[in-house]
Amino acid sequence: MSMRKLIGFALLLMLVGAPAWSQNINAAGATFPYPIYSKWFDEYHKAHPNVQINYQSIGSGGGIRQLMDKTVDFGASDGPMTDEQLKQAGFKILHFPTVLGAAVPSYNIPGVTVELRFTPEALAGIYLGKITKWNDPAIAGANPGIKLPAEDIVVIHRSDGSGTTYIWTDYLSKISSEWASKVGRNTSVNWPVGLGGKGNEGVAGLLKQTPDSIGYVELIYAIQNTLSYGSVKNSADEFVKASLAGVSAAAAGAANAMPADFRVSITDAPGKAAYPISSFTWLLIPAQIQDAAKRNAIKDFLHWMLTTGQQYCEGLAYAKLPKEVVAKEEKAIAMIQ
């Protein structure tokens, strides 16, 4: 180990870097919020020209790992860290929700241009491979009057580990005990059926190309790619189509029961207007930051994010944090020392 340290140090010393007149902060993590994060860091940089926050979207798991390896100053993840991961990190890590997102069931059925309604049982059945045709009663029952073809359903899922998969499988695990025991929830699972697309855009691409297909993508990808997506029946038996309002409603429902460390799943949330496949996405900040300048910059950014930052969300199809959550987070910032 020390030999490698020597080599590493020697290589770096040989080609030494330049002055740090600016505060350089490196961060890594989730791809889903990358558009809004890049907007935030850019706006923040305009307001504070000496702070450069360099965020790279290498994936939630990558973000967690880089944070644990201490190669970045903070991380970002679509799924909260597990207790086991927090213990493994060896130092205290705080979660700060930033925005909300939704995973939508998107489909491409030639001839069907209207919005379909999906029950939880239908979605679970399709992804378990038990419902194989579009005109299966489980799907047709919720969509009276719509002519569904007797074609095989082509199931599409994510091939790469992702927070979107985490949200989707988290939801399926909650509404289907068979899914929970057979497959479970994770950023990457052993899918019973289906083709794997790389990234949200890979799934969107496959959806567009493949007739009679169904897949899950982040709301913003469905909108940008003009994919058809359906409504989902929530815990209050209402069919809700994903929208910023529906996602915020899901978060508001969870706000009061929010644990102190903000690690909460809001899939299948209570409330009539709640969209059931919603989720927070978090920034992962170490509780202890040695470098005072860095610490202040990060804390200041968090304040900015909770106030000015939130106004950029809707323009990019992200749902804002509910007021109650914002208030709680403001208090939690003080925990960073």
Partner 1 sequence: MRLLWRKTVNIVMLSLTGLCALIAVSVLFFILGYLVYHGGSDVNWDFFTKLPKPVGEAGGGMANAIVGSGKLLLLAAIFGIPVGILGGVYLSEFGGQAVPFVVRYTADLLNGVPSIVIGIFAYAVVVMPVHHFSTVAGGFALGVMMIPIVLRSTEEFLHSVPPSMREGAMALGASKWRTITSVVLPAASRGILTAALLALARVAGETAPLLFTAFGNRFWSPGWSQPIASLPVMIFTYAVGPYEDWHQQAWAAGLVLLGLVLVTNVVVRTVLSRRSSPQRP
Partner 2 sequence: MATAPTTANAAGLSWGPRALIQKLRSGDEIARIVTLIFALVVVLLTALLVYQLWINSAQSRHRFGFSFFWSTTWDPVANQFGALTFVYGTLVTSALGLLIAVPLGLGAAIFLAELAPRRLSDNLTFLIDLLAAVPSVIYGLLGVFILVPLMRTEIQPTLKRAFGFTPFFRGPAYGIGFLTAGFVLAVMIVPFIISVSREVLLAVPNDQREAALALGATRWEATWKAVVPYARTGIMGSIFLALARALGETMAVTMVIGNNPTISSSLFSPGYSIAAVLANEFSEATGNLYLSALIELGLVLFLLTFILNGLARLLIILTTGRGTGVSIA
How large is the C-alpha radius of gyration of the chain? 21
What number of other Cβ atoms are within 10 A of residue 105's Cβ? Answer: 23
User: Scanning residues 286 to 325, which ones bind partner 1 (CB under 8 A)?
Assistant: 315-316
Cβ atoms of 205 and 151 closer than 8 Å: no
Residue 54 site contact among partner 2, partner 1, none (CB < 5 to 8 Å, cut-off depends on kind): partner 1
Q: Which of 63, 101, 202, 271 binds partner 1 (CB under 8 A)?
A: 202
Shortest distance in whole angstroms from residue 222 CB to partner 2: 18
Q: How far apart are CA 288 and CA 205, in angstroms?
A: 42
Q: How far apart are CA 14 and CA 213, in angstroms?
A: 55
User: Scanning residues 240 to 259, which ones bind partner 2 (CB under 8 A)?
Assistant: none
Tokens at 268, concatenated: 């299948």
What number of other Cβ atoms are within 10 A of residue 224's Cβ? Answer: 15
Contact between 176 and partner 2 (CB under 8 A)? no
What number of other Cβ atoms are within 10 A of residue 322's Cβ? Answer: 21
Contact between 31 and partner 1 (CB under 8 A)? yes
| Contact region with partner 2 (CB under 8 A), list: 9-17, 34-42, 53-61, 293-301 | 53-61
Cβ atoms of 107 and 207 closer than 8 Å: yes
Binding site for partner 1 (CB under 8 A): 1, 4-5, 7-9, 11-12, 14-19, 24, 26, 28, 31, 34-35, 38-39, 41-43, 52, 54-58, 62, 69-71, 198-202, 204, 218, 220-221, 223-225, 315-316
Interaction site with partner 2 (CB under 8 A): 58-62, 64-65, 82, 84-85, 88, 152, 154, 159-162, 183-191, 194-198, 202, 205-206, 209-210
